[in-house]
Amino acid sequence: MIKPHGSDELNPLFVYDVEQRHALVKEAESLPSILLNSAAAANAVMLGGGYFNPLTGYMNLADSLSVAEKMHTVDGLFFPVPIVNMTSESVAAGSRIALRDPNVEGNPVLAIMDVEAVEAVTDQQINFMAEKIFRTLDENHPGVATFTGLGRTMLSGPIQVLGFSYFQADFPDTFRTAVEIRNEIAEHGWEKVVAFQTRNPMHRAHEELCRMAMEQLDADGVLIHMLLGKLKPGDIPADVRDASIRKMVEVYFPPNTVMVTGYGFDMLYAGPREAVLHAVFRQNCGCTHLIVGRDHAGVGDYYGGFDAQTIFDEEVPEGSLELKIFSADHTAYSKKLNKVVMMRDVPDHTKDDFVLLSGTAVREMLGKGIAPPPEFSRPEVAKILSDYYQSLDA
């Protein structure tokens, strides 16, 4: 199986030893504590699950600035975005503290941190990092708004993770750590595995894109890996996406060719940089390839349609990742050929030769109980989405 990023073995930060974990939970009761913001809590969950291997905790300011500028730490470890714990609370360097979960009632302890450094971050440094990560400082960009509002004190140091926030409880059939995904891939006996990232329901074009990648790469299976954390307003909730994706796989894919899983992270909307982050943690999951399509991890008009592909050729140093990219074009149903195709593969087609619907048009149809054409969305998927949208107006 493909090696994790940066090490021979995956090193998740979740404390799997039950006795040790119970002892740490008890210790946390007597420790000073801070309430994390959702971004730092999501980082802890991802560190705990092994997704951010080989990191041992939150980055310090020098590493964060270096990663933002050059995509590697001061010591040269390739990493595409800073993994930080920003706060407004007062903490002493050298202290051991409990990190409390902002997303679960009662704010239980999510992790214990040995605080190696407490550093003040200037507005200029925050803006420098934000512009490098998001390619904009526009506050209307949801990622910029979140990142610049996290606080101006950076806490760095190793953590021991004691839980996975709300993800295990709310998505018991879907949430998986990188450790669990690696184990399941090994159980399947898969060697070549394609990852498909999604924060949206999957329509026909997405379904066929997974099938195309599998066929062209001669892959053993597909990991459909959905984001389960926080999204911008208007995005479809994770439970609805989960149900629609599972129905599509159940009805339209052969058994034992697809794993439907999810991960506990908040969407960054960082376009190209987030695509590279997706590649890092899919390699840690054991995947050999990641599908990167048009406007991967994008939002609005902040990124070019294929910037998330070109970053791998132009900015990711050779040998930084073992995982490879499957570059996909915009995919749609061809009326001429009666199948879903990549637009670049049919230069003789005009726009009228495709079944194309805007997201707004699809939402309006579903809200009225009108199913989109079957060339665009499977009827079983459309039914789940239609029920959701109609429930909003009820």
At residue 392 the predicted structure's pLDDT band, cuts being 50, 70 and 90, is confident
What is the reported pLDDT for 174? 96
At residue 233 the predicted structure's pLDDT band, cuts being 50, 70 and 90, is confident
231 in any annotated domain: yes
162 in any annotated domain: yes
- Which of 168, 185, 220 lies at the terminal end of a domain, its last residue? 168
At residue 378 the predicted structure's pLDDT band, cuts being 50, 70 and 90, is very high
Same domain, 151 and 206: no
Span 364-373, pLDDT tens digits: 888 888 889 9
Same domain, 130 and 257: no
What is the reported pLDDT for 207? 94
Same domain, 182 and 223: yes
What is the reported pLDDT for 56? 98
Span 31-54, pLDDT tens digits: 999 999 999 999 999 999 999 999
Count Cα neighbours of 228 within 13 Å in the Cβ-side half-sphere.
28
At residue 95 the predicted structure's pLDDT band, cuts being 50, 70 and 90, is very high
10 in any annotated domain: no
What distance separates the 2 farthest-apart alpha carbons in the chain? Answer: 70
In one letter, which amino acid is 331?
T
4 in any annotated domain: no
Please say if the pLDDT value at position 394 is more than 80.
Answer: no
Nearest by Cα to 366 from 379, 354, 375, 353: 379
Look at the chain and report how many structural domains it folds into.
2
At residue 146 the predicted structure's pLDDT band, cuts being 50, 70 and 90, is very high
- Which of 168, 200, 220 lies at the terminal end of a domain, its last residue? 168
In one letter, which amino acid is 381?
V
Please say if the pLDDT value at position 232 is more than 90.
Answer: no
What is the reported pLDDT for 136? 97
7 in any annotated domain: no
Same domain, 122 and 186: no
CATH number of the domain residue 227 falls in:
3.40.50.620
Catalytic site includes residue 273: no
Same domain, 154 and 206: no
Same domain, 149 and 219: no
Average pLDDT, the chain: 95
90 in any annotated domain: yes
* Structural tokens at position 378: 């499977």
Span 82-91, pLDDT tens digits: 999 999 999 9
Whole-number Å distance between alpha carbons of 220 and 254: 12
Same domain, 330 and 356: yes
Helix (H) or strand (E) holding 211: helix 204-217
Instruction: Encode 218-247: b = buried (16+ Cβ within 10 Å), e = exposed.
Output: ebbbbbbbbbbbbbeeeebebebbbbbbbb
Same domain, 200 and 328: yes
Whole-number Å distance between alpha carbons of 284 and 11: 10
26 in any annotated domain: yes
Whole-number Å distance between alpha carbons of 108 and 198: 29
- Which of 149, 168, 187 lies at the terminal end of a domain, its last residue? 168
Same domain, 220 and 273: yes
What SS3 class is residue 109?
strand
Span 171-215, pLDDT tens digits: 999 999 999 999 999 999 999 999 999 988 899 999 999 999 999
Mean pLDDT over 102-120 rounds to 98
115 in any annotated domain: yes
Quick count: other Cβ atoms within 10 Å of Cβ 208? 19
What is the reported pLDDT for 362? 85
At residue 230 the predicted structure's pLDDT band, cuts being 50, 70 and 90, is confident
- Residue 28: alpha-carbon gap to chain centroid: 29
pTM above 0.85, yes or no: yes
What SS3 class is residue 185?
helix
Catalytic site includes residue 199: yes
List of long-range contacts for 126-134, beta carbons under 8 Å, 24+ apart: 126/152, 128/65, 128/68, 128/69, 129/64, 129/65, 129/68, 129/82, 132/68, 132/69, 132/273, 133/68, 133/81, 133/82, 133/268, 133/270, 133/273, 134/268, 134/269, 134/270, 134/271, 134/273, 134/302
Nearest by Cα to 84 from 110, 103, 106, 62: 62
Instruction: Encode 148-187: b = buried (16+ Cβ within 10 Å), e = exposed.
Output: bebbebbbbbbbbbbbbbbbeebbeebbbbbbebbebbee
What is the reported pLDDT for 26? 97
* Structural tokens at position 28: 């946390």
Q: Which of 21, 127, 152, 199 is catalytic?
A: 199
Whole-number Å distance between alpha carbons of 190 and 1: 8
Same domain, 76 and 217: no
Residue 180, domain extent: 171-393
Span 304-363, pLDDT tens digits: 999 999 999 999 999 999 999 999 998 999 999 999 999 999 999 999 999 988 877 888
What SS3 class is residue 11?
coil
Q: Which of 200, 211, 246, 363 is catalytic?
A: 200
At residue 66 the predicted structure's pLDDT band, cuts being 50, 70 and 90, is very high
What is the 3 state secondary structure string of 269-287?
A: CCCHHHHHHHHHHHHHHCC
CATH number of the domain residue 22 falls in:
3.10.400.10
Same domain, 164 and 179: no
Same domain, 360 and 220: yes
